[in-house]
Structure 1
Amino acid sequence: MSTHASVIAANFATALLGAREAAASQNYPPAALYVVATPIGNLADMTLRALHLLQLADVVACEDTRHTQALFRAYGIDKGAAPWLAVHQHNEAQAVQRVLDRLTLGQRVAYVSDAGTPAISDPGARLVAGVRQAGFKVVPIPGASSVTTVLSAAGVGADPSAQGGFVFAGFLPSKATERTQAVLALVSEARAVVLLEAPHRIEALAQALAALGERPLTVGRELTKQFEEIVTLPASQLPHWLATDANHTRGEFALVLHPADTSSQTQSDSRVLRLLLAELPLKTAVKLAADITGEPRNALYQQALALKTDTTEPHD
């Protein structure tokens, strides 16, 4: 262990003792999969129950063994000869059987992703489904999540007239056309929408989201870390905000598209139709607009004809 890692581990020595005191008396059944949330940036965000369970686990399954072993060293957790299983997006379906083999032996298996709560946007969902289908118990050990973190700082429930609840959209498609269609579908979504994005794709996402105009958008960057930044601005201004400072494009992103103003839904539907007409033939644009907005196709067709006429007629 490096000197730096040793210092960090020493800082968490009392936390490990506290975890045993606080959580050791609780029930941790054998032959169970424990889905354990880990910090999204700040090591101090690990829960006491998670620290205790990770010490107790017979097997550690994780997205990246090297990353997770470094995390364990930071907390001073020594698993000795306990086996490590790599379970990530490329092998999750095949890795389920290896986890089931361990559960059949009556072992406690802890699963962690690289950061945050597994099976939300990270791997883990297929593992959980496979374990449940085989009849074994799945125990969630809750903790940090970029989804709830950014939502808690966005204030999306402040307007009592806004649609309640939220939609978790995660990462939008990487291909430009598919991403644009996904953003257009958000125009008619009255609830708040949580998005995630990587630094190398944030500028492309910003350009797509700019089509949503004045709809408020909360941007969370480097959440819980030293250079955490949270801002709320109109969606149309996100490309400009990113361009004003090179640091604005660094780090992982969690974003909240605020609930749509229901009083302006008609304008939103019209905006969707205008955007589609600019790129597609009239009939195709009308069909997609109907699918996105839920509005009657005939009404949208008449509106599209009017828009086409308005843009082709000469003006004084």
Structure 2
Amino acid sequence: MGDNFGSLYLVATPIGNLEDITLRARRILTEVPIIACEDTRHTGLLLSRLEIDRAGRRLIAYHDLNEQKQAPILIGLLLQGQDCALVSDAGTPGISDPGYRVVKAARDAGIPVVPIPGPCAAVAALSVSGLPTDRFSFMGFVAPKSAKRLRQFQVLEPDRGTYVFYVPARNLVQVLDELSQVQPNCSVFIARELTKMFEEFISGTPAECKATLGDRVVKGEVTLLINPK
């Protein structure tokens, strides 16, 4: 490992409540000269709210659409000895967010990769769900099309513990209908708008959760936990 290489810090940021930023995360964001972020405007606002001066700090856009192009650029800066923080818009980088390509490239090059742990919607939802947490599978975002989701849900196995999905709010009711078809007796836990003003938790079978939602339009960020029976 080169002694003069910079370090790549994967910095978790709040998923809603600014008070969830850690002291260590704030210090790293204050010290590094480069911050790679999904949306420079979003991260710029976060720095402002944390009272971190942007002067002399370079924000580089790093997201799904440019990850393959930007990863080598970041590696080049790290090889030159510049430290870099990687952040997503919310939560832990690399967890259903861009990050793994530059992490792999950094490790392959012998560059130190340092986790700065903190908020993660999947773990936060699990911790308050009351569903089994000794074994769980993080599945990322549900498939975009209904037919694929039905196949996805049909193969969920009881002995695999709890499954964790991210669901676009606009699809939540349809997802519950699909679960009712293939896993009607499963235990479901919905965590919506975690750590935010309108945080909400709903639990029950898919049909019971749909009944609780009623006819309202579901908004916000949704984490869906499923424990098959």
Calculate the TM-score normalised by the size of structure 2.
0.93
Name the one with the larger strand percent.
Answer: 2
Structure 2 equivalent of residue 184 of structure 1: 154
Look up the equivalent residue of 2:64 and give its one-letter code: Q
Kindly provide the CA deviation profile for residues 32-54 of structure 1, in whole angstroms up to 9, marking residues without a partner as x.
10000000000000000000000
The answer to whether residue 209 in structure 2 is matched with residue 238 in structure 1 is yes
Tell me how far apart the structure 1 counterparts of residues 138 and 7 of structure 2 sit (CA, whole Å): 28
The runs of at least 4 consecutive aligned structure 1 residues that moved more than 6 Å come to none
Amino acid aligned to 1:156: L
Alignment partners' CA distance in 1, 2:175 and 2:100: 26
> Does the CA contact (< 8 Å) of 1:210 and 1:237 recur in 2?
no
Alignment of structure 1 residues 1-316 onto 2, 5 Å: 31-157=6-132, 164-187=134-157, 190-211=160-181, 212-246=183-217, 249-258=218-227, 260-261=228-229
Distance 1:33 1:126 in 2: 12
Aligned partners of 2:152 and 2:205: how far apart in 1?
18
Amino acid of the structure 2 residue aligned with 1:66: R
C-alpha distance in 1, partners of 2:105/2:211? 45
**Across the two proteins, how many residue pairs are aligned to each other?**
225
Larger radius of gyration: 1
Larger proportion of helix = 1
**Relative contact order (alpha carbons < 8 A, sep ≥ 6): 1 or 2 greater?**
2
Distance of 1:244 and 1:172 partners within structure 2: 22
Q: Which runs of 5+ in 2 are unaligned?
A: none
Q: SS state of the match for residue 34, structure 1?
A: strand
- Determine if contact 1:47/1:143 at 8 Å carries over to the other structure: yes
Cα contact 2:15–2:91 (8 A) shared by 1: yes
| CA distance in 1 between partners of 2:107 and 2:5 (Å) | 15
- Following superposition, the deviation at residue 189 of structure 1 comes to 5.4
SS in 1 for 2:65: coil
Please provide the CA RMSD for this pair.
1.7
Runs of 5+ in structure 1 lacking a partner?
A: 1-28, 159-163, 262-316
- Give secondary structure in 2 for the equivalent of 1:182: helix
Q: Is the 8 A contact 2:5 2:111 kept in 1?
A: no
**Aligned-partner Cα distance in 2 for 1:200–1:30:** 44
Asked if structure 1 preserves the Cα contact closer than 8 Å seen for 2:75 and 2:102, the reply is no
Contact 1:37–1:117 under 8 Å retained in 2: yes
The one-letter amino acid of 2:102's match is L
Which whole-Å deviations, capped at 9, do the CAs of 1:211-242 have from their partners, x for residues lacking one? Answer: 21121111100000011011211123233233
**What SS does the corresponding residue of 1:186 show, helix, strand or coil?**
coil
Contact 1:199 1:252 in 2 (8 A): yes
- CA drift at 1:30: 5.9
Question: 2: distance between equivalents of 1:37 and 1:210?
Answer: 35
Structure 2 counterpart of 1:99, one-letter code: L
d(CA) in 1 for partners of 2:114, 2:6:
11
State how far apart, in whole Å, the 1-side matches of 2:159 and 2:139 are. 11
Whole-Å Cα distance in 2 between the matches of residues 85 and 220 of structure 1? 32
Could you tell me how far 1:190 is from its partner in structure 2? 3.5
SS of residue matched to 2:97: coil
